[in-house]
Structure 1
Amino acid sequence: MAGEDGTGREPVGFEVATGTGALPAGSARERAAAVRVAFEGLLQVRRLMNTGAAAPEGVPAAWERRRPVRAVALALEAAGIPPSATDPEGRRIATGYRVRAADRAGVVRVEWLGPPGSGAAYAAHDALQGCVAALRRLGWEALEYRGPRGRRYLEVEPAGPPPG
């Protein structure tokens, strides 16, 4: 996201895979290592920020609550769940999660998408339940809904108020 740091420039370093746009660059091994480092950093932020929590790693920190799309996407990828992706023309080329902001502030929507004919819609319930399990372990509440044409999706938000 350009300008997230207020400079108007693209951020340098790790970028989460939200399932929108191209697959992350680099080899699978390089990406796995980058995700592992980013996720360990997120857990360290939780330990430092959630000092009033009984289990500080199990509660989303204030940073995550301000950037829930990034935090949820990182949690899903760190759990080994693949992101979806599109080609430069916007055609879906990979089956997996897509995380985007929901209609309410602080809430994200997780969908299971794939290329036409991939069967992603049929696999959505089971795949999204895997997302629910991964997110709940990290202190996120995820509820499944059906949208237009019966398409399944999750609405995800932090479970409870931040410790303090």
Structure 2
Amino acid sequence: MPRPTTAAQRRIIAEADPVTGRLRGTEAQLAALVRLRLAFRHPRPPHAYFLTPAGHRVREEPAEAVPETAPVETETGVFAARTGTEREAPPPGEDAAARAREVRGAWLGLVELRRMTNPGGDRERPCAWERAHRARAVAIALEAAGRTPAAPRREGYRVTESPQPDAVEVGEPTADGVRACGAVLERAGWLVSEHGDGRTGRRFLVVSARRA
């Protein structure tokens, strides 16, 4: 299997977005990773580069596999999925259009990962990464479809772990909001069932990954 051969390439892989695997670097650096089959260029604008499954495996190698001479830098502005459970509000003055582009890019990255890793290139159901990171994957699907995550002093969806195995729960303040989230997630390939709390009247979804 092709592997990166330079410290710069290893650094770029290590600094890939933790959710989507999106890469940052010069065009020449990223093209070299494509040739090594550790990255791919998304066919749609803005034609961003993302890690392939082989690239993800390289990033997950033990830290000692990376020479100590490789620079360690803290990257700012890394995309983070919003589950609605964050304790801090979005940054003041956040550019809503820029955030929407980032979320859309994250969703397209997941769709491409489905194509590359699911049997038969199936884009209609969650891939292994999504099943392993259910809360973040569900949050990306919801926000990419225009749903608003909850935040301090703002209502919206919340994605939390479920007592049921291999599932998460999604809540919204209103029953209509819960149903709208359910419709989004069904279109995104997730299995969704609606439930209610008999004591509080709260409605919520139990969401799990659709398998072959």
Fold shared, TM-score > 0.5 on shorter chain: yes
Q: CA deviation at 1:105?
A: 2.8
User: 1:136·1:142 contact (CA, 8 Å) conserved in 2?
Assistant: yes
Match of 2:205 among 135, 142, 154: 154
User: Relative to structure 1, is the Cα distance of residues 64 and 16 closer, same or farther in structure 2, using a 3 angstrom cutoff?
Assistant: same
Larger radius of gyration: 2
Where does residue 135 of structure 1 map in the other structure?
Answer: 185
- More relative contact order, 1 or 2 (CA 8 Å, 6+ apart): 1
How many percent identity over aligned positions? 38
CA RMSD of aligned residues (A): 2.4
Q: Greater CA deviation, 21-30 or 145-154?
A: 21-30
Query: Structure 1 residue 104 and structure 2 residue 164: aligned?
Result: yes
Letter aligned with residue 144 of structure 1: E
Q: Greater CA deviation, 16-25 or 124-133?
A: 16-25
Gaps of at least 5 residues in structure 1 are: 87-92, 113-119
Match of 1:51 among 119, 139, 148: 119
Gaps of at least 5 residues in structure 2 are: 1-18, 20-59, 64-73
Matches of 2:208 and 2:75 in 1, distance apart? 25
Where does residue 30 of structure 1 map in the other structure?
Answer: 98
Matches of 1:137 and 1:82 in 2, distance apart? 17
Matches of 2:106 and 2:82 in 1, distance apart? 12
Letter aligned with residue 106 of structure 1: D
Query: 3-state DSSP class of the match of 1:75?
Result: helix
User: 1:24·1:31 contact (CA, 8 Å) conserved in 2?
Assistant: no
Size of the aligned set, in residue pairs, is: 139
Q: CA deviation at 1:52?
A: 2.5
Deviations 1:109-160 (A, max 9, x none): 0011xxxxxxx3xxx211111111111111111111111311111100012x
Where does residue 115 of structure 1 map in the other structure?
Answer: none
| Higher fraction of strand | 1
User: Relative to structure 1, is the Cα distance of residues 43 and 23 closer, same or farther in structure 2, using a 3 angstrom cutoff?
Assistant: farther
User: Relative to structure 1, is the Cα distance of residues 45 and 131 closer, same or farther in structure 2, using a 3 angstrom cutoff?
Assistant: same
Q: CA deviation at 1:50?
A: 1.2
Match of 2:110 among 39, 42, 47: 42
| Structure-2-length-normalised TM-score | 0.60
Letter aligned with residue 69 of structure 1: A
Matches of 1:11 and 1:133 in 2, distance apart? 35
Match of 2:82 among 13, 17, 20: 17
Query: 3-state DSSP class of the match of 1:150?
Result: coil
